[in-house]
Structure 1
């Protein structure tokens, strides 16, 4: 089984490389299999440390926050108001803020995602990498597959391909698959982490808690980085070393 997984992984990477030469991956959501979970680090950070988030250490892209336990209060986890979602207003620099939701499968879209190329989130200094794919994605705080939110400026931030298509999608798929299989709710929160007046978020924090049971529960931080690329978070400009 181990050799089979390695073969599947190699085939998938090859397929992604071929696809990248045909389409603009900045507009594509890639669905990755469950065994990509092994890429998630067991490194830990506290909620208090996020306010003074240290620089990326070059190894641990995904870090568990508070032992992977979400920090919703009883009031925040109440389903008295049914399903809903809210987005923060853009700040004085036009940066996105925290997005909250009480998710349910009734909110999931029945149509394919539309064009979002008219949205230019802060730090959008697109760059084509050496492997002929784009560095940045217009990344959803609350994924389209959850609620059908499309070209909402309050819901889109500049995220690296590595953040959006490799790591963030793992946790989004976990939530979406649970919603499709049950009639239950998931409390969900995604928080972009900016440092001072920088235009590109250093990381995002994702929290989820299934309400009727504990089948879905995580609190993780994903660094907004790309292997082999040096990023200026003040502007979003990037260079290859």
Structure 2
């Protein structure tokens, strides 16, 4: 393609040099041919540039909160935790994972046994692990939430510009499950991570569940730690409503706060 473009432009240039020679009819013919070749060369060049430019940039994100995708490591529903652990924050607080496909297996989406929640045991460093649930209106709380007293790992809280830096972030949100002061369900999350980012997804799910007692959502949340660090680098969340795609996402939210540098080893922090 590039050789054809070059040849067209050279030939057009030669014809332009001949515009002053020959009969009037020949000059008109040369002018028309030169114009055609120039337009062809410019159009082809622009097409080639556009192709190359698009292939470098990729498909634009659908929203400002989604700018990247982490490929799945295999064909199963297992999260690419190793890849997520190595990610560094790059000015985008939330990204999609596996092209936003939750990736649950057919067995994982079964709802015949009714709603449930399961939590990983705390590890040797007292850190929370993956939490799973099949959500339904039946396990949503009816009583008001009581204050939390458990301090998750990395809990070195302080006020930044008049607001607390950290929240005790539920893996499976209280409004979805009624789980509250459960150490296996709590991690240290920045104010930004907990609300608005995690809460935005939780509110969407709560709204869906409230529409019908027949609505179910398969949900999984994993705090992502790097090595022996006590403060999570982020949280992976994926969800799929059963029988439809009303709720359908797979995202990773970085545990960061604008204007603050976090020490993930122990959860201490400094203002930028």
Instruction: Compute the TM-score of the two structures, normalised by the length of structure 1.
Output: 0.81
In structure 1, the partner of 2:121 is: 89
Of the three residues 148, 158, 181, the one matched with 2:188 is 158
Deviations 1:52-99 (A, max 9, x none): 333433311101001101021111111122110001000000000000
Q: Return the structure number with greater helix share.
A: 2
User: Which consecutive residues of structure 1, in runs of 5 or more, have no partner in the other structure?
Assistant: 1-36
Correspondence for 1:44: 69
- 1:99 counterpart residue number: 131
Mapped to 1, the partners of 2:135 and 2:260 lie a distance apart of: 35
In the TM superposition, what are the counterparts of 1:21-60 in structure 2 within 5 Å? 39-48=64-73, 50-52=81-83, 53-60=85-92
Higher relative contact order (CA 8 A, sep 6+): 1
Larger-Rg structure: 2
Residues of 1 paired with 2:155 and 2:210: CA distance? 33
Give the alignment's Cα RMSD to 1 decimal: 1.4
Paired positions, count: 203
Is residue 149 from structure 1 mapped to residue 179 from structure 2 by the alignment? yes
Q: Is residue 229 of structure 2 the alignment partner of residue 198 of structure 1?
A: yes
Shift in alpha-carbon separation, 1:181–1:217, aligned structure 2, 3 A: same
Helix, strand or coil: the match of 1:166?
A: helix
Indicate yes or no: 2:155 matched with 1:124. Answer: yes
**What is the alpha-carbon distance in structure 2 between the residues aligned to residue 38 and residue 132 of structure 1?**
30
CA distance in 2, matches of 1:57, 1:158: 17
5+ residue gaps, structure 2: 1-61, 74-79
Q: Which residue of 1 aligns with 2:106?
A: 74
Q: 1:172: Cα distance to partner?
A: 0.6
In structure 1, the partner of 2:265 is 234
- Per the alignment, in what secondary structure is the counterpart of residue 145 of structure 2? coil
Matched, 1:176 2:206: yes
Aligned equivalents of 1:165, 1:97: Cα separation in 2: 20
Contact preservation (8 Å) 2:136, 2:216 = yes
Give the C-alpha shift of residue 42 in structure 1: 3.2
Classify the secondary structure of the residue corresponding to 1:40.
Answer: coil
TM-score of the two chains, using structure 2 as the length reference: 0.72
- Rounded to whole Å, the distance in 1 between the matches of 2:126 and 2:137 is 31
